[in-house]
Amino acid sequence: MSTVAVALGIFVALLALLVALRSKTGNKIDIRNSDIVLALVPVALWLFLTGKVQEFGFGEVKIVAAIKMASNAPVGPQVSKLTIESVRESVPTMSKAGPEVIPQMISAKSQALRFTIGQGGYFGGAIANYLNQLTQYPFLRYLVLENSDGTFFALADARQIEQIVQAPQARFSTDDLAQWIDSGNKEALAALPGLVSAEKALHKSDDRRKALEIMNAADAQVLPVLNEDGKFAGVVDRSKLTASMLAEIAQRVEKTE
């Protein structure tokens, strides 16, 4: 079955839902053209972003115009800033700091840990302590790896790494991770599972369509976003991005009625 056929099937189901709702309410609900158009919005957005169609209209309303405007808008407004804790202690301090610092991170609901590549002084045992305790809470999700000049290198999934280092036959340990960060072994760091490098990162001025295309190509739900100076600004989430686009498209379509 073709993609277009599937899309049309989804539209028919949505339209049938509207008709059923009207019937159950004793025809008290009118199905306007705009209702039909709004039912088309998710389908049209999918077809347009996947390149299946270039024009999609209903009556006097051109859905594709609203989609183009929404998809060409910058991702900046959808960027979520993270509460980040910089891990910069020396080895003697870090080996003892976990129990003292972690409660502060829990209180602050730290969403990411920041590491500076090539700085030195990281300790595998302390990193294990951070990951083990903080991943018990829903807020810690990322490791932010930065170059020595503060520019962004990559974003890693903290929970995925914690699962790997805790496995009986782990592919690598937190000691390995600390050594790679200390020595600036970017090749080893780039091979971390679920890592999103600076090459796949977005800038605030990049449009939403580019963001979704990169997400689809990388099979990623989240992408890092950088400031113009190459430093980490936050993340953009696929669900939040799509929801904002659908809401904006629906608003533009309704205004055309």
Look at 151 and 4; give whichever has higher pLDDT.
151
The tens digit of pLDDT for each residue in 147-194 reads 999 999 999 999 999 999 999 888 999 999 999 999 999 999 999 988
Reading the block at residue 18, the tokens are 């509207």
Query: Does the pLDDT of residue 7 top 50, yes or no?
Result: no
pTM higher than 0.75: no
Helix (H) or strand (E) holding 154: strand 152-157
pLDDT of residue 17: 56
pLDDT at 39 over 70: no
Is residue 140 very low, low, confident or very high in pLDDT (cuts 50, 70, 90)? Answer: very high
**pLDDT digits over 82-129, tens only?**
999 887 554 444 444 444 688 888 999 999 999 999 988 888 988 998
Distance CA 222, CA 160 (A): 14
Which ranges constitute the DSSP H helices of 72-219?
91-108, 124-134, 158-166, 174-183, 186-190, 208-218
Which of these, 104, 46, 85, 41, lies nearest to 250 by C-alpha position?
41
Maximum CA pair distance of the chain? 75
pLDDT of residue 223: 95
Tally of CB atoms within 10 A around 217? 9
Assess whether pLDDT exceeds 70 at residue 219: yes
| Residue 164 · residue 177 · CB < 8 Å | no
DSSP for residue 198:
G
Can you tell me the distance from the alpha carbon of 230 to that of 198, in angstroms, rounded to the nearest whole number? 9
CB 174 within 8 A of CB 161: no
| For the chain, domain boundaries | 3-73+242-255, 80-203
pLDDT of 230: 94
Separation of alpha carbons 50 and 23, rounded Å: 35
Q: Any idea what DSSP says for residue 89?
A: -
41 phi and psi angles, rounded to 5 deg: -55, -55
